[in-house]
Structure 1
Amino acid sequence: MINQRTLASLAVLVQSGKLDPVALVAETLTRIEDHPDRSIFVALTQERAAREAKAASARIKTGRSLGLLDGLPVAWKDLFDLAGSITTAGSVVLAEGSPAAADATVIADLGSAGMVSIGRTNMSEFAFSGLGINPHYGTPRNPRSADVHRIPGGSSSGSAAAVAAGLVPLAIGTDTGGSVRIPAAMTGIVGYKATRGRYAMKGVFPLAQSLDSLGPLCQTVQDAVWADAAMHGLTAPVIRRAEIADLSIVVPETIVFDDAEAEVVAAFEEAIKRLEAAGAKVRRQAFPSFAEIFELTARHGALVTAEAYALHRERLAGPEAERMDPRVVARTRLGEKITVSDYIALLDARDRLIHETIETLKAGELIAHPTLPHVAPPLDPLLADDDLFFKVNARTLRNTSIGNFLDFCGVSIPCGTGAAGMPAGFQLAAPHHQDDRLLSAALAAEASIRGDA
């Protein structure tokens, strides 16, 4: 039985003095070290964690708590600089680099809230895959699959697996095409992708800077709200729960249901029925802009590929390419064919489509659709067949990448199960910089989406 303790439940124990942060961190590290899946974490920061836990304990005992998150553990995707630790970005080619001289800004922000950094979690190499497969450090098992080794989703694979396995209550990931929401949906937890720029990006290894965003992976929307507040410097959350009767939701009829597994669609539609029964207003419409995004990509190439190639161009031309995942190399090299005029055309079209999509929404509406068109597939067939890998990867990224292209914020909430009893995800999304409204609505809708209401 997975022990799924939330930030909120742990905060009650810690702030009341019933659970000392030193004991909590020791227990957390023991859980991780005793866990059979050694591929979830790439490194633990035991000395740092012990030091931070001791400081939190002293503060709380003397009535100087830093707030709700003081003394609680957090894990970091291996893209975030942790002072004194090497940021490998899931790749062996960076493993012999210099340790980070300073924490990434968001690590410092959560540190200011008293959170205890436990270590760095595994990921797809250079964050360039939605499946979470890593040939160098291993592919974490999806904790929701008891027998078959199913993928956890990516690229924040270890972050999702760590939370879903009950090892930590919170892990922070990045999301360029779905890398927070995809593994959250596959492992049955909550994943929130913030609007790009909501959090400081200093000290975060990039993939595509025009698309990169950050977000927490955790057990509940409330936990995401708490993490969000600390990640952009607030001492306490200011988001209030909306009234579900005030929620207006539009379900797209374009792209997001194409080739979707019947069980996933059924789980989503049951969640929609529960929301309507609770008082939410739901309508459906076509979104031509969604289809145009993929038409643009077919014509000009993908924005993420262009920027990833620019970032790794020298690495791909040298001996380091031989030490990288060949599937990551193949995808990244596609960017060489994208011309400057293609790239500019993509940026111009993106700006237009963002505005056109927002204009099709009625005042206050949120977009809802299945986070993914399928549940987590088994690992072995993907390792054995490159063509299948690329096909499944594209399908996995499809729904979530729409939001990245349109610069939306989004949150994936578990809504039931699909094939083989694996989790299905329900995404709520809102236009950029409407994160507070999105999280407020998600707080109200979560119980209905999950079927707990």
Structure 2
Amino acid sequence: MTDPAAFADATATDIAAALRARRLRATDLAEALLERIDAHPEPVFLTVTRARALAEARAADDRLDAGRPLSPLDGVPVAFKDLFDLAGEITTAGSDTRRDAAPAEADCAAAQRLSRAGMVTLGKLNLTEFAYSGLGLNPHYGTPANPHSGATPRVPGGSSSGSGVAVAAGLAPCAMGTDTGGSIRIPAALNGVFGYKPSHHRLPDGGVFPLSRTLDTIGPLARSVPDLVALEALLAGRAPVRPRGGGVAGLRLVVPETVVLDDVEPEVMANFETALAVLAEAGALIERREMAEFAESVALAAAHGSLAAADAYVEHGPLVEGPDGGRVDARVVARILGGRGMSARDVVILQRARRRLVASVRETLDGALLAMPTVAHVAPEIAPLEADPELFHRVNLKTLRNTMIGNFLDLPGVALPSGRGAGGLPTSLLLAAASGRDDALLAAALAAAPRLGG
């Protein structure tokens, strides 16, 4: 039997293979990870479901001993951003105002599906309050520093901060996050792991605390593209996507020259261009062009506001304008109140334009995928952002810039590590597709990742 500590940084699919071969026991691995979580100095987990994890691990071992696994990931641990309901646990949404909320009566739909597949629930993960920031800072529960920080603490990315850190720091092989403006892809990028944001409503979001019912999606963060694909299959209730036939040869990649390449840090851009060159050498067809839909999306937001802000104000306006509003992070309050000044006309204009632009992107790409840097910079230092609200606002918007366009245009996306930038900090390549073309995206990511070292 292999020492479970040897699997702390293994992929979910490698762990699953070891479990099926009985070189590893689910109970031993769960106990080892629970010890690592307890010993970790950063506030990554808000709730640790120890009793549940050990009970699920023992049940998985019984099934695996009998040769009757429930799924390819039976016995593999997983953790959930604390927006996902878990039966008997409080869903805090990262907010001080929800510390004493009633415990959830049942698991959310995603947790139900992963539990039915035999996965082992380790607990619930830290996040930006109400999932409304791309940086991951949380004044109530603490901010989990990026594990690549070195001596100077850097942001984990948000809003699924704990999800990104847990996977990168060896606390969980995979985690569930949500993505409204980049909250899966950004922490994946800044922590050097993989993340998948699906098309809207591809994966079940029942029992997940909302920010924007128009834009919210759920998805996994993990240590490989095969992990993402295996988790997506369990969540969607379908067979796993297979790699693209022929690898990346003939894969059409469009590099948008509108907005997303502006003011990108040199190391991020260098790693992006290197990744493109590697894919081109393997036969991918790279085309660089303007994307009018990107420019119009940015102009619409400047003129009319954001659908996320409008939705967030509907969800949380009564709280932030009520007697407990002072208990909410002021940076989050400012973003929520951004929806207060939007008119019905603004919202309808945005909704109609979104439908038109989603269709336009599908026609423009004509089956090609998009390739761009996931985030324009590496993880910034925490302290200056905490000290200066204006700096926080500027950096947050730049962090969200590339991914937020994808939410407005409903582009499914996979964030893949592309190397290291300043100070050895991770950089990331984002592959994206037109709305609804998730299978083609995942198949391409499966083919591309090995070329890029993932």
Q: Given the alignment of the two structures, is residue 194 of structure 1 paired with residue 211 of structure 2, yes or no?
A: no
Q: Given the alignment of the two structures, is residue 51 of structure 1 paired with residue 55 of structure 2, yes or no?
A: yes
Q: 1:8 maps to which residue?
A: 13
1:102 CA displacement:
0.3
2:28 maps to amino acid: A
Spell out the pairing of 1:208-227 with structure 2 (5 A cutoff): 208-227=212-231
> Whole-Å Cα distance in 1 between the matches of residues 8 and 22 of structure 2?
21
> Whole-Å Cα distance in 2 between the matches of residues 116 and 415 of structure 1?
30
Q: Given the alignment of the two structures, is residue 63 of structure 1 paired with residue 67 of structure 2, yes or no?
A: yes
> Whole-Å Cα distance in 1 between the matches of residues 180 and 8 of structure 2?
30
> Whole-Å Cα distance in 1 between the matches of residues 19 and 11 of structure 2?
12
> Whole-Å Cα distance in 2 between the matches of residues 94 and 285 of structure 1?
46
The answer on whether the counterparts of 1:426 and 1:449 sit within 8 Å (CA) in structure 2 is no
Spell out the pairing of 1:19-418 with structure 2 (5 A cutoff): 19-37=24-42, 39-234=43-238, 236-242=239-245, 243-362=247-366, 364-418=367-421
1:420 maps to amino acid: G
> Whole-Å Cα distance in 2 between the matches of residues 66 and 277 of structure 1?
41
The answer on whether the counterparts of 1:209 and 1:307 sit within 8 Å (CA) in structure 2 is yes
Q: After the TM superposition, which of the residue ranges 416-425 and 211-220 deviates more from structure 2?
A: 416-425
1:239 CA displacement:
2.7
Aligned residue-pair number: 448
The answer on whether the counterparts of 1:2 and 1:165 sit within 8 Å (CA) in structure 2 is no
1:3 CA displacement:
4.5
The answer on whether the counterparts of 2:154 and 2:381 sit within 8 Å (CA) in structure 1 is yes
1:240 CA displacement:
3.4
Q: 2:450 maps to which residue?
A: 447
> Whole-Å Cα distance in 1 between the matches of residues 204 and 223 of structure 2?
24
| Structure 2, unaligned runs of 5 or more | 1-5
2:191 maps to amino acid: T
2:393 maps to amino acid: F
The answer on whether the counterparts of 2:8 and 2:33 sit within 8 Å (CA) in structure 1 is no
Q: 1:419 maps to which residue?
A: 422
Q: Over aligned residues, Cα RMSD in angstroms?
A: 1.2
TM-score calculated relative to the size of structure 1? 0.97
> Whole-Å Cα distance in 2 between the matches of residues 54 and 70 of structure 1?
11
2:289 maps to amino acid: Q
- Percent identity between matched residues is 50
> Whole-Å Cα distance in 2 between the matches of residues 80 and 122 of structure 1?
11
> Whole-Å Cα distance in 1 between the matches of residues 94 and 118 of structure 2?
27
The answer on whether the counterparts of 1:249 and 1:365 sit within 8 Å (CA) in structure 2 is yes
The answer on whether the counterparts of 1:164 and 1:188 sit within 8 Å (CA) in structure 2 is yes
Q: After the TM superposition, which of the residue ranges 418-427 and 127-136 deviates more from structure 2?
A: 418-427
Q: 1:17 maps to which residue?
A: 22
1:41 maps to amino acid: F
> Whole-Å Cα distance in 2 between the matches of residues 103 and 241 of structure 1?
34
The answer on whether the counterparts of 2:91 and 2:98 sit within 8 Å (CA) in structure 1 is yes
Q: Deviations over 1:89-123 (max 9, x none)?
A: 00010110110000000100001110011000000
Q: Deviations over 1:26-78 (max 9, x none)?
A: 111011111122x1010100111111111111111112111211111000000
Q: Deviations over 1:360-387 (max 9, x none)?
A: 113x200000001100000000000000
Spell out the pairing of 1:420-439 with structure 2 (5 A cutoff): 420-439=423-442
Please give the secondary structure, in 2, of the residue aligned with 1:250.
strand
The answer on whether the counterparts of 1:22 and 1:50 sit within 8 Å (CA) in structure 2 is yes
> Whole-Å Cα distance in 2 between the matches of residues 2 and 397 of structure 1?
33
Please give the secondary structure, in 2, of the residue aligned with 1:335.
coil
1:238 CA displacement:
4.1
> Whole-Å Cα distance in 2 between the matches of residues 278 and 298 of structure 1?
40
> Whole-Å Cα distance in 1 between the matches of residues 281 and 357 of structure 2?
33
| Structure 1, unaligned runs of 5 or more | none
1:2 CA displacement:
10
> Whole-Å Cα distance in 2 between the matches of residues 238 and 322 of structure 1?
47
1:447 CA displacement:
2.1
Q: Deviations over 1:300-354 (max 9, x none)?
A: 1111101100111211221121101011011111111001111001001111111
Structure 1 stretches of at least 4 aligned residues deviating more than 6 Å after TM superposition: none
The answer on whether the counterparts of 1:272 and 1:449 sit within 8 Å (CA) in structure 2 is no
> Whole-Å Cα distance in 2 between the matches of residues 63 and 3 of structure 1?
24
> Whole-Å Cα distance in 1 between the matches of residues 190 and 113 of structure 2?
28
Please give the secondary structure, in 2, of the residue aligned with 1:440.
helix
Q: 2:3 maps to which residue?
A: none
1:246 CA displacement:
2.8
